[in-house]
Amino acid sequence: MVDKVFDSPSTALADLVEDGITVAVGGFGLCGIPEQLITALRDSGVRDLVAVSNNAGVDDWGLGLLLQTRQIRKMVSSYVGENAEFERQFMAGELEVEFNPQGTLAERMRAGGAGIPAFFTKTGVGTLVAEGKETRDFDGEIYVMERGIRADLALVKAWKADPSGNLVFRRTARNFNPMVAACGKHTVVEVEELVDIGQLDPDGIHTPGIYVDRIVVTTSEKRIEQRTVRPD
């Protein structure tokens, strides 16, 4: 069996990163983000990245770290409202942005992982989302064509994994991670717990190991994006 387990995020990424690659990143807000892999990607010094992710993290965590260091050239996202540096770069024309409806972004990554180069959807028809894209009539309804996404590198956060790369995500941290794992030409996963082969219930595996190239065990900080409390 191929040894997929690496001793650190930096060694797991060492020969997979270079300037100009497309990186798909799992997570929703700060939930389920591969935080240590993102930090290692920042520390690698690569530049001109195209980052595909639901969001851009916050100013001092997640993909916000790569925006601070100006390592991202283009963001392909659906929600970016929590990052002031993203807003500044976008408004100043320093960052290229491709907005996607959230379901469309998820399906673009799922399609890319399934080997589907494009699909048609009604979402975005008649809006800026459809500008410059092919449309087609199906049964009297207009649909817009969206391309599947195939990333050079996928960074994923999982709860548990076995050495074969079978993954289990915990609750809402599942979000975009399964689609991200599937759409990467190379997929690197950071996990909280590595278990022996046979300890995961086969019926409870969310992403099979065929999609996973490398695994690293990390300790998560689990920051809270927005804290809301009740008055005393």
All domains of the chain in start order, with CATH: 5-119+133-217 (3.40.1080.10)
49, 69 Cβ separation under 8 angstroms: no
Amino acid found at 115: G
At residue 99, the pLDDT reads 92
At residue 152, the pLDDT reads 98
At residue 230, the pLDDT reads 85
Give the ranges where the chain is alpha helix by DSSP (H).
9-13, 35-44, 64-68, 84-91, 102-113, 177-183
Residue stretches of the chain with pLDDT short of 70: 1
Say how many C-beta atoms besides its own lie within 10 A of residue 84's C-beta. Answer: 12
At residue 227, the pLDDT reads 75
At residue 136, the pLDDT reads 97
**Of how many residues is the chain composed?**
232
Predicted TM-score (pTM) of the model is: 0.93
At residue 39, the pLDDT reads 96
At residue 183, the pLDDT reads 97
